[in-house]
Each structure stands twice: as C-alpha cells, then as structure tokens.
Amino acid sequence: MASKDLSIVVPVYNEENSVSILHKEILDILNPLNRSYEVIFVDDGSTDRTLEELKKLSPAKIISFSRNFGKSQALQAGFDEADGNHIVTLDSDLQDDPREIPRFIEKIQSGHDLICGWKQKRADSFSRRFASKIANVAARHMTGIKIHDMNCGFKIYKSQVAKSLHLYGDMHRYIPSVASSMGFSVGEMAVNHRPRQFGASKYGFGRFINSSFDFITLIFLRRFTDRPMHLFGLFGSVLFMLGVLVLGYLSWEKIFYGAAIGGRPLLLLGALLVIVGFQSFSLGFIGELTIRQNREGRQFNIKEKINNI
Ligand code: UDP
Ligand code: MG
C-alpha cells in the first residue's frame, strides 16, 4: 500500500547549479497542497558537484548510482523507491516548470493511467525541435497512440503504471507507447517549457542514432516481447521444412535413379536451410527462456541511498 499521496522522481546528471533551485520550486508548489509527498532525486553518476548539492536538500530522498547508467535506469530506480499513489517525473534542468504539478494531479483524476506532458511551445534549438518532430510522427504512426510528445520528461503516473514499466536502454523515450501496449490508458497535457539556464543538454548526434535503434527494438518488442517463438519459430520452421523437402527430393533421385548428388548446388542449399532453420528455431526458444528468467532484472547499480527528513 502506498503511504504517500505523491512521489516526485527527478533523474539528475551533472546539474549542480539547478538542483537546489528545483528543490525549492517543488516544495513551494507542494507544501500549500496539503498532501503527503516525497521528493526522490536519482543522481545518475554525476561527475560534478551534483551529489554534494543534493545531500544538502531536505526533505529529500537521494539515490546515487555508482556510474552513469542513463535516464531510463535513473527513472526505474526512482520508481522502485517511490511510495506515492501517484508519481510525477520531471527533468532537473529547470526546463519543466513545477507549477504545472497541480494541473497534472487534477488531470489524472479524469481516468487516465498516465498523463504525458506536451511541450507545445518548445524552448530548444530548431534542429532539436525538428529531430523531435520526426521522431514523434514516426512513433505515432508505428505505435498507433495519439501523443504529440512521447519523450517529454514531465509526466504523472498512477503508481502501478510506473511500477510495472521495466525501463532500460533508452526506453524512457517511448514510455507512453510501452504503457499503452501494456493496456494502460494514456492522455496528454500541454505544459509550459522554459529555456535551459545552466549547463548543457546531454542530447547529441549519438543519442539521435541510438534512439533510432531503440525505436526498432520497441517496434520489435511490441510484437514479439512475450513470444519470440512467433518470429524465430515461424521463420525457422519454414526454412527447416524447405530444407527437408529439398533433401528429400535429392535422396529420392539418389535412391531410385542412382543419380550422383554429391556435387549438386541443391544439396548445399538443402543442408543450409535445415541448419539455419533449426538454429533460428533454437534462438526463439532461448529467447523464451531468457524472458522467463529475466523479467524483474535490474541493470543499474546503487552506490548509496540517503534519506533527508
Ligand atoms: N539525465 C540523466 N542521465 C543521463 C542524461 C540525462 O539522468 O545520462 C537527466 C538530466 O539530468 C535531465 C534529464 O535527464 O534531468 C533530461 O536530460 P537533458 O536535459 O540532457 O535532455 P533533453 O531535455 O535535452 O532531452
Ligand atoms: Mg532538457
């Protein structure tokens, strides 16, 4: 049972100048609401003074990673720790405005399981907005959910939604799609987006490339997560059967007509089909086994947990 009304989860990577300002902004908004809450900062292996700054904050829970594991893992660690009925996530670079939190709380009462922020007027560079636009249009078409801004860090979840996501890699970019494929209902709300004040965005060309691969993974996972056999098994069986037919035909020629089949290209093809088919089938089977064993696996590593009351 959740013991608080609200958990705020903030992933932080090298934001030494922002965290104390953000913490104060969050408290200023939450205190007058008369709800019980907690603020959880997950320091994703920052190399600047972020962790020292975080330790000064109270009330706050701080989770510190042993190294940089990425935003998805940071969010997951925060979700594991969170104890609220609802969980709000926001970025720590002060671009998301905590004054939107009460509207998020109101909006999620409307029956959705997850409300995703939408940076309608986005305070980022043109190339950044362009890349994001393309990614979102592609994601909308491929995943069939009508959200403008999947990757917005500002969201509110019913606790069980956040707790059932299993984020890794760069999956945080597609949370609405993952949640909807799990059967949760997803809504969106336009939010105020502020320009970055300190530090630099960690977004770069590398992240753009990686996120394209994540997108392919996502599409693949949507179809085959729980059933790799449906892909590898089908593919493998078809090849295997073709191989058996080819080899059967050659054997028939050899046995009944005494044909010399040793040098026939068809023999090579038949053998390859049988081998590749069998291997693909086994791959599907191993996939099934891995899924069964690795469901709850966590890939990050927590170095320290601090509970400032
Ligand atoms: N972040 C993180 N781990 C990382 C990179 C980023 O926890 O490896 C955090 C970062 O501190 C910020 C949020 O994720 O709170 C979004 O990062 P950023 O502003 O760089 O991304 P953008 O808003 O440009 O997509
Ligand atoms: Mg940002």
* Alpha carbon distance 281, 285 (integer Å): 6
Pocket residue to mutate for ligand 1, from 15, 76, 93, 208, most atoms within 8 A of Cβ: 93
pLDDT for residue 203: 65
| Rounded mean pLDDT, 151-164 | 94
Cβ burial of 142 (10 Å; 0-12, 13-18, 19+) is middle
Find out whether the beta carbon of 93 lies less than 6 Å from any atom of ligand 1: yes
pLDDT for residue 222: 67
Cβ burial of 111 (10 Å; 0-12, 13-18, 19+) is exposed
What DSSP designation does 280 have?
Answer: H
pLDDT for residue 189: 96
- 150 pLDDT exceeds 70? yes
CA–chain centroid gap for 31, Å, is 31
Residues 6+ apart with CB under 8 A from 151: 132, 135, 136, 172, 173, 174
* Alpha carbon distance 132, 130 (integer Å): 5
Pocket residue to mutate for ligand 1, from 51, 124, 202, most atoms within 8 A of Cβ: 202
Q: What is the pLDDT of residues 163-211, one digit of tens each?
A: 988 887 778 988 998 898 888 999 999 999 998 888 777 766 777 777 7
Find out whether the beta carbon of 128 lies less than 6 Å from any atom of ligand 1: no
| Rounded mean pLDDT, 246-267 | 94
Residues 6+ apart with CB under 8 A from 64: 42, 43, 45, 51, 54, 302, 303, 304, 305, 306
pLDDT for residue 297: 62
Beta-strand relationship, 155-158 and 114-119? antiparallel
pLDDT band at 226 (very low <50, low <70, confident <90, very high): low
Q: If you measure from the C-alpha of residue 10 to the centroid of ligand 1, how many angstroms do you get, rounded to a whole number?
A: 10
| Rounded mean pLDDT, 74-96 | 96
| Rounded mean pLDDT, 298-304 | 72
Which pTM value belongs to this model?
Answer: 0.77
pLDDT band at 231 (very low <50, low <70, confident <90, very high): confident
* Alpha carbon distance 160, 82 (integer Å): 11
Cβ burial of 56 (10 Å; 0-12, 13-18, 19+) is exposed
The closest alpha carbon to 9, from 165, 153, 188, belongs to 153
Q: What is the pLDDT of residues 47-68, one digit of tens each?
A: 999 999 999 999 999 999 999 9
Residue 247: phi and psi, rounded to 5, are -65, -35
Classify the C-alpha dihedral 8-177-138-215 as positive or negative: positive
pLDDT for residue 124: 79
Q: If you measure from the C-alpha of residue 91 to the centroid of ligand 2, how many angstroms do you get, rounded to a whole number?
A: 6
Q: What is the pLDDT of residues 276-285, one digit of tens each?
A: 999 999 998 8
* Alpha carbon distance 272, 240 (integer Å): 9
